[in-house]
Amino acid sequence: MKQLQGLQERFEKALEALELPSEPKFLYEPISYTLSNGGKRMRPLLVLLGCRIFNESVNEAIHPAIGVELFHNFTLLHDDIMDKAPLRRGMKTVHEKWNNHVAILSGDAMFIKAYQELLQTRLDVIPSILTEFNKTALEICEGQQMDMDFETSEDVSIDSYLKMISLKTAVLLAASLKIGATIGGANRSQAQLLYDFGLNAGIAFQLQDDILDVYGESQKVGKQKGGDIISSKKTFLLLKAMELARGEEAESLKKWLASESESEKVKAVTEIYSQLGIRKLAEDRMWEFYNKGVSSLNQVEGDEEWIGRLRTFSEKLMHRES
């Protein structure tokens, strides 16, 4: 995967070279702090991959890739405020390190900087990539609102959950590929095929996260095992269990969801999942989405070696343990 590493290193150098004003300190310092905390950098990599599949040069995609990464981190700043999250990537969140006002305003500045970076590409593709970016940004807001609504709703369907994770998580992965492909010279139908791959693979990745939260090894997952169960988060696994549970199992599930005994709650709900075969049902649905995405990827007519690298990269994500 040396070629992908080369793209990642090129992006990191470009991000490190991003110039931010020094004043006002409490506007720009949190942006530097956020960007320096690392992360997977998956979305900017997908921008560059989407471009490289259709063009030998990714020069025109570098700044838009930075724009996508700035936007992604902006959403995390605001999400952390709403979630009252103390940590992000093992570091204090911006609202914890400074305060909510700083986090909101720095996030807003990141959003504006994202647009500035997106505009630094060829004039002929700017209308297309901004249209896609604006659509995606609004969809992510819709997904976040759905997620918050689910916290207090007693009537969340699996289809609604899949729609929510599609909007909150998958659309930005899909748009990253499509923006890159558009910059690389792909026609509309080819760029859409990459979008369809990213959308379905993104849903599969989130379902994988749901599964790993319950069944992954905590030291590899990097967070508390069963955290979704402890918070009674409405994931695919819980919603499927609520759909299938009958009689005593349904009563037991309801009782444990109201429990405040964390370790016992995780153990008991996981046991109910096992009795109902929830893990296999979740994995089957996960692979259904991923294979649907691969079907779209197989129709892409670009550089076969780079298409193969994108496929291999996504397969590694599908078999990850964290």
Query: What per-residue confidence (pLDDT) applies to 312?
Result: 96
Q: What are the residues whose beta carbons fall under 8 Å from the beta carbon of 13, sequence distance 6 or more?
A: none
Tokens of 71: 């936007």
Q: Which domains does the chain have, with CATH numbers?
A: 1-133 (1.10.600.10), 204-322 (1.10.600.10)
Q: What are the residues whose beta carbons fall under 8 Å from the beta carbon of 31, sequence distance 6 or more?
A: 20, 106, 109, 110, 113
Q: Please say if the pLDDT value at position 260 is more than 70.
A: yes
DSSP 57: -
Q: What angle do CA 163, 169, 172 make, to 5 degrees?
A: 110
Report residue 219's pLDDT band, with 50, 70 and 90 as the boundaries.
Answer: very low
Q: pLDDT, tens digit, for every residue of 88-116?
A: 888 999 999 999 999 999 999 999 999 99
Q: Please state, rounded to an integer, the average pLDDT across all residues of the chain.
A: 95
| Per-position DSSP letters for 156-213, written without gaps between them | --HHHHHHHHIIIIIHHHHHHHHHHHHHHT--HHHHHHHHHHHHHHHHHHHHHHHHHH
